[in-house]
Every structure is written in C-alpha cells, then in structure tokens.
Amino acid sequence: MTRLPRSKQILRADIAMRHSDEKWMAEAIKVGRQARVWSAPNPAVGCVIVRDDALLAAGFTHPTGQQHAEIHALSQIDDAVGATAYVTLEPCSHTGHTGPCVDALIGAGIVRVVLSCVDPDPRVAGKGVAKLESAGIDVTTGVLEAQAHDELKGFFLRLSRGWGRVTVKMAISADGRSAMASGESQWITGAAARADVQAWRAESDVILTGSGTVMADDCALTLRQCENRLSEADWQRALAKPTARAVVDSSATITHDAKVVSGDTPTFLFVRSDAQASTDMPSSVSYIPLDAQEKGVDLKAVFKLLGDKGANEILVEAGPTLVGALQQADLIDRWLIYMAPTMLGADARPAHAAVFKKLSDAPRYSVTGHELIGDDLRIIMRAAQDS
C-alpha cells in the first residue's frame, strides 16, 4: 500500500483536527446560548468537554456568584483526565464571586483547551491562557472566533465603551408605518411575531422605553412565557431572573398605578434632576436623576448607567420620538424589525422621527438575518461597517 508523504499526513491530521475543533466549538456556542437569559453581568459562555471525539459534558454560565460554564461542565463528570475543553471565552484566572476556572481545569486533568475569544476584561486578558500553558496544557485560540464574538458582543461592547449592545425592536407595516394617526397599533403583527419578541425580551438584560409609549399603551414590559424558540428550561431560567425595565421619563410623569412599575421586576426611571419624583412607587422602582438637557435627558448617560448596572444586552421597545432620538445620536447597534403584510397609509405614524437632510446622511445597514415568523417578515440589521 502506498503511503502518503509525512508532510501530507501531517496536513491531513491538521485539517481533521481543525474540523473537529470547529464542530465542538459550534456545540459550545450553542450551549452558551442557554445562559443568555440570566448570566449578566457575566457573559453567556458555553463549554463542552470532549474525549476521544465523544461529548462528556456541557456547561453554561449561571447567575453571578454561581457556576461559570467550565465549572458547570466539570460538575457533571467524575473523570476529565486527558480530555479537551472547548470554551467560547477565555477561562477566568482571578478570584471574584467564584474561584478561578483555570485552576479547576488544571485540577481536573484537562490536557487541551480550545478557545474562541480571549477575554478583554483586564482581570483576565490573556492571564488565563498563560496560566494554562504554564501548567503544561495545550491551548488553541481563535476557533470560530467571529461567531462567538457576535454571541458575546454585548459583553465586549460594555467593557470597551461602558454600555452593552443596543437593539431596537419595531413592528411596522409594509409601508414603514408604526401606528395609525390616532396612535392605534395593537396589533400590527401576528401572534407568532409577538411570541418571538418574548424570546428577545428574555434574552435581554433590560427593556427600555419612553414615557410616551407608557402613556399611550400602559405597557408592562414583562416576560410572557409562550411557545417560541426558547425551551421550557430556558423559560424557567428566564423567569427566575426577569428582565429589568427602564423608562426615559424626563418629567417624572409615570404614576404608581402604571403597569410598567407593577410587580417585583427591577425598574429604573430616568428623570431630569429638577423633576418632582413620586413618593409612592413600589420598592422595586428606582429613580435615576440626570442633568436636564433641552430635549429631556442625555441618552448616552442613560446607556452608561445601564452598563454600570451590568446590562450587556439592551432591548429598546419605544415609539418614534425616542427611537428617532437614538437614531439621530447614532446610538443603535442593531435593528429587530417585524414587517407585517399590511399598509397603514400616508397619515399613519412613521417608524421613527429622525430627520436627515441628504441621502448621504442617512445611515446604511447590513441585513444579517431575515425570516418569516408566521405571516410577518423579521429583519435583523446592523450598521454596515459592523458587518
């Protein structure tokens, strides 16, 4: 039998290892998505432990003070000696609410660690890799890095600029209108699209709206368990740590009987420092005063304060005025648009109130996803330079 030259044997082995690494890292990314509903301020990391190309365990990040993804995976098996750990983000090397994950991997007898992304947190930032390598563990980085980075983008943005990823959700007609001239908008989209929104709410760390939307709709902005892409286990985790609510309420017009301040869900009301705050709000409601500006409050300051509270993913569900202000200030990272197959007419309300004088001033986006949800078209897009 003719044998391949050694150089080609090595090349084939490298290709086979790369394919195996990508297969198992894709699984780690998938597992990490289960953490989205409750991991903040920590990133939603996934980890799978593999030996002889067989899955031994899978783990994901738990709420603050509980298991990180690596610890969750290791806790499920008695013997990890000689195994490989695939982790979407560099394991921590410092002691915070929990001990260093690198120590757990080393102590478990892991011989190889494959990573997607190096952790930009200055407490880690390569220190985890260095500690693993100093213990004789083989470390490979950058496997499916782009995919994992997108999954963790809110966390990365919060570390680099002070607030997480801002996603604006809108329901619009095919002619780009968000409500009738009277303000009537329930419901432009169908039941399937509204159920899909609940999954996005659950996977966000805070839902932001404006006082105008609260006054018009008396919205609660709470999670409603329903049939969508989230599993029953996902929903149990989401409901154990409900998504916080925030309202830009410059003049402190919201009253204690509004649905948005009902229940035990943490709720933040951003008001001007000279506004007269109500004294009869539930204990779950916090007023956050901001310096007054000509048009209310500084929206960048709102996001910065939400970042300080650990919000990696910020979902905006608001009307044309607030969305237009965010658009005008270039504060939107991603659009989540549900387009219904209906026409509302020329006098209906626009999607947002931003004004651009020239075509060249209008922002351009890249469509990163489009799918029919029931009868409605869901479009996901982000800034073209970020694609």
For 199-217, how does the pLDDT look when each residue is reduced to its tens digit (9 = 90+)?
A: 999 999 999 999 988 988 8
Cα angle for residues 59, 156, 354 (degrees, 5° grid): 125
Residues 361-381 have a mean pLDDT of 93
Residue 127 has pLDDT above 90, yes or no: no
Rounded to an integer, what distance in angstroms lies between the CA atom of residue 109 and that of residue 84? Answer: 9
* 3-state SS class at 228: coil
Q: What is the pLDDT of residues 306-348, one digit of tens each?
A: 999 999 999 999 988 899 999 988 999 999 999 999 988 888 8
Residue 70 has pLDDT above 90, yes or no: yes
What are the C-alpha distances in Å from 316 to residues 169, 322, 387?
A: 6, 9, 21
pLDDT of residue 361: 83
pLDDT of residue 177: 86
Residues 123-149 have a mean pLDDT of 90
- Average pLDDT of the chain? 89
Map out the domains of the chain as residue ranges.
6-151, 159-386
Q: pLDDT band at residue 305, thresholds of 50, 70 and 90?
A: very high
Residues 229-244 have a mean pLDDT of 94
pLDDT of residue 233: 95
CB atoms within 10 A of CB 85: 31
Lowest mean pLDDT among 27-31, 140-144, 215-219: 215-219
Pick the CATH number of 6-151 from 3.40.50.10320, 3.30.590.10, 3.40.140.10, 3.50.50.60: 3.40.140.10
pLDDT of residue 385: 64
pLDDT of residue 4: 46
pLDDT of residue 1: 46
pLDDT of residue 296: 80
Write out the E strands in the chain: 46-51, 54-60, 84-89, 112-117, 138-140, 165-173, 177-179, 206-210, 244-248, 267-272, 285-290, 292-293, 296-297, 313-316, 334-340, 349-350, 365-373, 376-383
Residues 131-147 have a mean pLDDT of 92
Q: Phi, psi at residue 166, to the nearest 5°?
A: -105, 115
Residue 164 has pLDDT above 70, yes or no: yes
Residues 133-144 have a mean pLDDT of 92
Please tell me the CATH code under which domain 159-386 is placed. 3.40.430.10
Residue 186 has pLDDT above 80, yes or no: no
- Active site residues per annotation: 70
pLDDT of residue 306: 97
Q: What is the pTM of this model?
A: 0.90
Residues 182-196 have a mean pLDDT of 86
Residue 115 has pLDDT above 90, yes or no: yes
Lowest mean pLDDT among 126-135, 181-190, 200-209: 181-190
pLDDT of residue 31: 97
DSSP state of 275: S
